[in-house]
A = this chain, B = another copy of it.
Amino acid sequence: MVDSIKISVDAMGGDNGPRVAVQGARLALKERKNTSFIFHGRQAELGPLLDECPELKLVSTIRHCENVIAMDEKPSQALRKGRGNSSMWAALQAVKDGEADVAISGGNTGALMAMATFCLRPIEGISRPAIAAIWPTMRSDIIVLDVGATVGGDARQLADFSILGAALARALFDQDSPTVGLLNVGTEEVKGLDSVKEAARLLSGASGAGFTYHGFVEGDDIGRGTVDVVVTEGFTGNIALKTAEGTARQVGTYLRNALKSDILSLLGAALARKALSALKRKMDPRTVNGGVFLGLNGIVIKSHGGTDEIGYKSALGLAYEMSRSRLIEKIEDGLRRFPSTPVQAVPQPEAKPA
């Protein structure tokens, strides 16, 4: 049994108000008893919600905070207005101060990334933080990053993402040397962007240092689960993630409509309802809710803003597992093992006189 894990919750973030966070925590506590919570937000709203959940209340603290970051606030604006005095900031500060093991928010992603970067700072040796998605595949869950923290990215950033993603795979899946693939297109000659080709050279040279470099992968390799970690910059990664979500929803709609099309199919669907429910659970986006902010001096989980308590519970479960598996240590270990880490290589010329 591990020590207790304390989760710092921005209870005001998300489209559906603080009830989702509190009820999600109630459900999460049932699954993992050794969890405790700090809820940041408005006492007047949180107090009554916690009163409804006596068991949760026993392991929870409320930290009153009046100021809430709006879902549509621009990151720079949010940082200006909410630094030091918003429920989002307070949730992050508790991790920085060592009061909590991990922070979670269902709020504005851009604002959360800006605040988290400002509050927790990137790990030394990592140029930019990334958002990693846990992606269910035909083989098992894999990690895809970056899915939205960056737009564009050079070879060094892609190498950093590989280190981060591999550390997350080691932490989450208990793998010694997860396979890493660079997302690319299939045309033989051009073989994608220069940054991706250059990253391939960096990763080939570093293969074995906490990960096994697989080579290029294409879009359909994600769902196939060809590698444990798929690395790309945030523009393409975000579009791939949302395209996959859209496609899954589309196929689900096709299936529902098809099964309603005639009486025999309706009857068949009724008989097969156990299988269809299992499928529905498997495809439920709530079961894999939660993006992991990687590369900061502290673990931050972003829950989907529009989720319900079931989805929030999943994100809290992810937060728990991240803390338990000592993710940050694994990232620092990965950085040490990466031969001539790109970032470490940069300051050297500065040390010499020109």
Q: Which residues of A contact B (CB under 8 A)?
A: 72-76, 108-110, 137-138, 148, 151-152, 183, 185-190, 192-193, 218-224, 232, 234-236, 238-255, 258-259, 261-262, 264-276, 278-279, 282-283
Contacts and interface: CB of A to CB of B under 8 A. Distances in A.
B264 A272 contact: yes
A147 to B, nearest CB: 9
A192 to B, nearest CB: 6
Contacts of A272: 259, 264-269, 272
7 contacts: A75-B189, A76-B189, A108-B188, A138-B249, A151-B190, A243-B247, A247-B247
A190 B110 contact: yes
Nearest to A280: B258
A258 B244 contact: no
Contact of A251 (B188, B222, B251, B269): B251
A252 B224 CA distance: 12
Contact of A218 (B138, B223, B224, B239): B239
Count of this chain's copies in the oligomeric assembly: 2
A11 B262 CA distance: 42
Nearest to A191: B151
Contacts of A245: 219-220
A264 B271 contact: yes
Contacts of A238: 185-186, 218-219
A193 B151 contact: yes
A267 B265 CA distance: 11
Contact of A282 (B138, B244, B254): B254
Contacts of A278: 258, 261
Given A219-B238, A258-B282, 11 more contacts: A148-B186, A192-B235, A218-B238, A219-B245, A222-B246, A236-B236, A251-B251, A251-B283, A264-B272, A267-B268, A272-B272
B247 A248 contact: yes
Most chain B beta-carbon neighbours within 10 Å: one of A234, A249, A258, A259: A258
B258 A268 contact: no
Nearest to A221: B246
A271 B268 contact: yes
A252 B250 contact: no
A248 B223 CA distance: 9
A192 B265 contact: no
**Most chain B Cβ neighbours within 10 Å, of A72, A138, A249, A268:** A268
Contacts of A151: 185, 187, 190, 192-193
A261 B254 CA distance: 21
A72 B193 CA distance: 20
Nearest to A73: B188
A148 B187 contact: yes
Nearest to A252: B251
Contacts of A74: 188-189
